[in-house]
Each structure stands twice: as structure tokens, then as C-alpha cells.
Amino acid sequence: MSPKHRLGFRFTPFIIALFLLFPVLTSADTVQLKPDHPERYTVVKGDTLWDISTRFLKSPWLWPKIWKINQEIKNPHLIYPGDVVVLRMVDGKPELSVLRKETLPVLPAVIPRPMEAMPAPGDGRTVKLSPRVHSEPLDSAIPTIPPNAILPFLTRPLAVGENELDKAGYITIGLDDRIALGNDSQFYARGLQENETEFYHVFRPGNAIRHPDTGELLAYEALYLGDARRLEPGDPSKLVITQVKQEILPTDRLLVAPKKPSLPYYYPHAPKTLVEGRIVSALNAVAEIGTYAVVGISLGTREGIEEGTVLRVMRHVGTHMDPITRERYKLPDEESALVLVFRTFEKISYALVMSSTRPVHMLDAVITP
């Protein structure tokens, strides 16, 4: 498939080739290099693919249009620390590829290869590189985005539907009639299924999240309070608090804790259709939301939003008084950031703010990039 499809924004681990496999919106954008782009860049531990792309391109989401897969290296879809990302001009067009130790020519064990036989960099000659056994284990492939920014939010409840509240188990009372529960506090709970896991998240239903334009109920916030482990099944079940983030009280709810996941490798792409929503919540909310903050948006799976979807944030400027006519008129929204969706629900999704150029605010618009 031709890589002429627009990808929502920057990229991800082994997405480099897979980028080309996902249908996305066609773009008329042309690839433009940054004026100060390097000719090559050596990947180091702590890099993300999102960041590396910004070193070369003005529009990093166009990376797959100029990426050349080297099929002769191990795991060509992944980038590891120590790899070298190389920029070349081929027929007047930029091309990016990766060099790895295992792509070096195999040298004789006794007779060294003469230096004059080695091609000089940039002399235009094409060299077939034979793979060799790589004796040292490769580090983990670099991620799309900073892992610590989203790992805490991959399994904890962030939003719940109205019906989920009715189905969740709930705390009744602590041992010895204790009300406020802390670390190692044992308590009783009802509403837990006999065959459920022994590990739970404790949460408290928060505010209703409504669409700011239509008033539609999108979800209820789920305020994460801590973790618990079931000691004895039954009705009531007996549990113990294993971690406390906020004070835990009777009527607080219990949801089964999924197994701790490894960091997903996202495939950044634009949504398949034109969409428009708004930022409706901000975890650890502050007055202004910056890079690597987690936000909730009023778009979910019903609008075709998927994990890896990239959206453009447009600052909702508002209206202004015309100094001549004295009438108020609407100011156009201003671009402020891009967000990458990492978790989806039916009517709401959670996304990480990427490379913001100005502060992001509640009710800012999110649109197809």
C-alpha cells in the first residue's frame, strides 16, 4: 500500500512498517525537512519514536512516507537504543532508514577486510549487507510515548457507565465497625461474585461527565481510591486494603483489577472520518493543561475512535467585541496541541497531550488533524 495516507501525528515502536498497513485519511501535505535536521541520529535509552520524528520533519506524522524498511535486519519494524536513523536523499526526495549492528558486513575472523574495499559514505554505491548473529541481547524497543505518562491509567477505572455502578461490589463496614479504611485495614463487602478474582480497585463514583454542547451524559468519573485483596469469599466477602490513594469509606465501589499490562505499542493514525469533540475532563486537573497531561474527550468508540487515534486540539478562544460595530463575533479556534488516544470507552476516550504549543484548556475542541 502506498504510504500516501495521512497519519494523525508522530509514530510508535514497531509501527514504522505497520503504519503503512492502516487505512487513514489522504493528505495533500508534502514532506518537509526541518532546516536544522541531522543527517543521522543515534537512538539512546529514554528516546521515544514521537520525539525522534520531530528531529527530522516539520510534520512528523508524515514519517512513513519516507521510511525505508531494511528487510535484511532483525526486527525491521522496531527501533532500539544504539540504532542509527539515517537521512538520505534519493532521486531528490528524503528517505529515512535504520542501521543496526547486525547489518554490518561479516568480516573474516583472521584476514581483515582492506579499508579501500569499504564504500565511502555518500559515494552513491549500493552495498548488500548480510545479517550476522547478534550475541548481545537487544534492549527493549523504544516506545511511542513516555511509558510513565500513561501506565497508571491503563487498568484503573477512569470512567464508568450508569449501569456499571449498579453491578459493582461495594464496601459495607470495616472490622470492629471501623469507618475510614487505610493500609492493611480489613473490611466486609457485598455484591462480589464468587468466581471473581482476588484483586480489586476501589473507586468512588464522581461527577457526571456531560457533552458541553448537547448535555448528553457521556459517563461518570471513577475516582481511584486504592487497591484491595479478597481474603474470604461469601456474602459478605472479607477483604483487606493493600494500597490507599485517598480515604476509603463504606459505599465505595470495588471493580476487578485487570492484570498489570505491559506498555502497549500504539499505531498513531488519524480517525477514518471527520470528527469533532471537546476536552471534557483533565486528570489531576489544573488551570492549564500541558504536555503529557491526560485528558478526557467527548469522542468514543461509537465515533470510530481507537487506541492510537491522533487528534488536533483547537483552543476555544470565544467571542470578541467588534470595536467598530460594537457587535460580538466568534473568534476562530487556535491550534494548541495534538493528543494521542490511549484508552477508549463507548462515549468518551482518554488521551495524552503531545507537544503542546500553548496551554490546553477544558472545553477546547479536538478535531481530525
pLDDT digits (tens, 9 = 90+) for 169-182: 999 999 988 899 99
Helix (H, G, I), strand (E, B) or coil at 1: coil
Q: Are 333 and 248 in contact (CB under 8 A)?
A: no
Domain for residue 264, yes or no?
A: no
Domain for residue 137, yes or no?
A: no
Domain for residue 118, yes or no?
A: no
The mean-pLDDT minimum among 25-29, 138-142, 163-167 falls in 25-29
Range of the domain at 361: 276-367
Domain for residue 144, yes or no?
A: no
Same domain, 99 and 176: no
Q: Are 262 and 200 in contact (CB under 8 A)?
A: no
* Amino acid in position 322: D
Map grid coordinates 514504522 to a residue: 16
Domain for residue 262, yes or no?
A: no
* Domain count along the chain: 3
Domain edge (last residue) among 223, 256, 289: 256
Q: Are 80 and 88 in contact (CB under 8 A)?
A: no
Q: Are 337 and 357 in contact (CB under 8 A)?
A: yes
Same domain, 286 and 252: no
Same domain, 32 and 101: yes
Helix (H, G, I), strand (E, B) or coil at 249: coil
Give the per-residue pLDDT at 278. Answer: 94
Domain for residue 148, yes or no?
A: no
- pLDDT band at 298, cuts 50/70/90? very high
Same domain, 250 and 305: no
Same domain, 205 and 284: no
> If you ran DSSP here, which 8-state letter would residue 313 be given?
E
Residue 364 CB contacts under 8 Å (≥ 6 apart), including other chains: 278, 279, 313, 314, 315, 316, 333, 336
Domain for residue 150, yes or no?
A: no
Kindly report the CATH number assigned to the domain that includes residue 287.
Answer: 2.40.10.410
Same domain, 235 and 317: no
Cell numbers placing 355: 507537544
For residue 102, is pLDDT > 90? Answer: no
Q: Are 257 and 201 in contact (CB under 8 A)?
A: yes
Domain edge (last residue) among 108, 135, 163: 108
Distance CA 195, CA 199 (A): 12
Domain for residue 122, yes or no?
A: no
Asked whether the whole model's pTM tops 0.85, one would answer no
> Mapped to the 3 state alphabet, what secondary structure does 272-309 carry?
CCCCEEEEEEECCCCCCECCCCEEEECCCHHHCCCCCE
Same domain, 59 and 104: yes
Q: Are 343 and 307 in contact (CB under 8 A)?
A: yes
Average pLDDT of 270-284?
Answer: 89
Give the per-residue pLDDT at 286. Answer: 61
Distance CA 328, CA 315 (A): 18
